[in-house]
């Protein structure tokens, strides 16, 4: 039996290469051309995408990306690189980053790992809660990458880790630290990225996995049902998405006597546009302008030691 030489591929959604309109258009074209993301017939969607969506969204999103961009680049990519470095140091095996859309691509990162001599590929999509629009899209992309390979490594694919004890513990540590630093809020808002309700009706268990995470976290924190609320953010298009919507909920809370909230978004493994601009900036303004008095955003797990420990536990089962 040949020696096992493992390597890890950390996969995240992706990011534009820079916050310019042209770079954002390239990124969005790839992202919104994936049928896992937008399931509309090509002949109908392609003219809409290129004639309306890309020109308008690239202008809109450019301003948002500029507001969060750092000297080193995209926060998502920076945070994921820190995760890779910490995981590689902890495991002492090769670890590469692959973005499902944009760079570094899954294709190039798999090639790097194969060139390093790995024969067992452990794929860890950094989506804690499974969805066909995210985790299954990674599987599709990986299948395309290996389509023309004459030999395949042993592939270990981690579906999700929504209620893994180490993941829940990492979230608990961050929430309790925030409570200790800022005081306990009137309500903890637990916000997840939304998906169309249609996907759930078709069998996607993402909504249930979000509930699994929330229930486990709330139990560990010892909160009552009146001390938290689960919401869904980042909807796109006109069809119904999972509710309640984060922005509308946050705007309504001050009128119900809730003046101090803390917000966490457990579905994002790294801080990015949706957490830094949408939650910590735009939704903060919604809350404060609606009569709120205090708003605290609890950062994503990023390269927290408890988060890296969780990744090690997920990977170690295949070593």
Q: How many CA atoms lie within 13 A of 205 on its CB side?
A: 9
Q: Is 237 left (phi over 0), alpha (psi -120 to 50) or beta?
A: left
> Which residue has tokens 């605290």?
296
Q: Which two tokens stand for residue 282?
A: 């735009």
- Count of C-beta atoms within a 10 Å radius of residue 112: 17
Q: Which of 67, 81, 11 is nearest to 302 (CA)?
A: 81
Q: Judge whether 193 is annotated as a binding position.
A: yes
Q: Work out the angle at residue 230's Cα, subtended by the Cα atoms of residues 235 and 173, and round it to the nearest 5 degrees.
A: 115
Q: Which residue has the tokens 């310019």?
A: 20
Q: What is d(CA 137, CA 218) in angstroms, rounded to the nearest whole number?
A: 30
Closest CA to 4 of 190, 170, 156, 158: 156
CB atoms closer than 10 angstroms to residue 272: 24
* CA angle, residues 233, 137, 315, in degrees to nearest 5: 95
Transcribe 82-114 into DSSP letters.
HHHHHHHHHH-S-EEEEEEEESSBHHHHHHHHH
- DSSP state for residue 226 in the 8-state scheme: G
Q: How far apart are alpha carbons 319 and 317 in whole angstroms?
A: 6
- Residue whose structure tokens are 């169309």: 196
CA distance 123 to 64: 31
The structure tokens 């601009």 sit at 277
**Three-class secondary structure of residue 6 per DSSP:** strand
Name the binding residues for Fe(2+): 193, 274
Name the binding residues: 193, 274
């Amino acid at each position: 039996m040949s020696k096992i030489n493992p390597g890890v591929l950390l996969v995240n959604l992706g990011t534009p290469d820079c916050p310019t309109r042209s770079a954002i258009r390239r990124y969005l074209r790839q992202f919104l051309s994936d049928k896992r993301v937008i399931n509309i017939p090509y002949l109908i969607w392609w003219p809409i995408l290129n004639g309306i969506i890309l020109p308008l969204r690239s202008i809109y999103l450019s301003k948002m990306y500029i507001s969060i961009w750092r000297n080193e680049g995209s926060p998502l990519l920076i945070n994921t690189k820190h995760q890779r470095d910490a995981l590689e140091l902890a495991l002492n095996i090769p670890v590469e980053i692959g973005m499902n859309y944009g760079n570094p691509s899954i294709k190039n990162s798999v090639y790097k790992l194969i060139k390093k001599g790995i024969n067992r590929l452990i794929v860890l999509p950094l989506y804690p809660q499974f969805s066909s629009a995210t985790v299954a899209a990674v599987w599709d992309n990986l299948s395309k990458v290996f389509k023309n390979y004459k030999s395949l490594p042993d592939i270990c694919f981690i579906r999700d880790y929504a209620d893994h004890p180490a993941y829940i513990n990492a979230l608990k540590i961050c929430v309790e630290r925030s409570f200790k630093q800022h005081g306990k809020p009137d309500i903890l808002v637990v916000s997840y990225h939304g998906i169309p309700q249609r996907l759930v009706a078709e069998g996607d268990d993402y909504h249930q996995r979000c509930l699994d995470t929330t229930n486990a976290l709330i139990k560990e924190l010892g909160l009552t049902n009146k001390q938290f609320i689960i919401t869904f953010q980042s909807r796109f298009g006109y069809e119904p998405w999972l509710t309640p919507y984060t922005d509308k909920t946050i705007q309504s809370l001050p009128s119900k006597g809730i003046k101090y909230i803390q917000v966490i978004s457990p579905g994002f493994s790294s801080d990015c546009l949706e957490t830094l601009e949408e939650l910590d900036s735009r939704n903060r303004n919604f809350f404060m302008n609606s009569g709120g008095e205090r708003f605290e955003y609890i950062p994503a797990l990023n390269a927290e030691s408890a988060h890296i420990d969780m990744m090690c536990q997920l990977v170690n089962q295949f070593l």
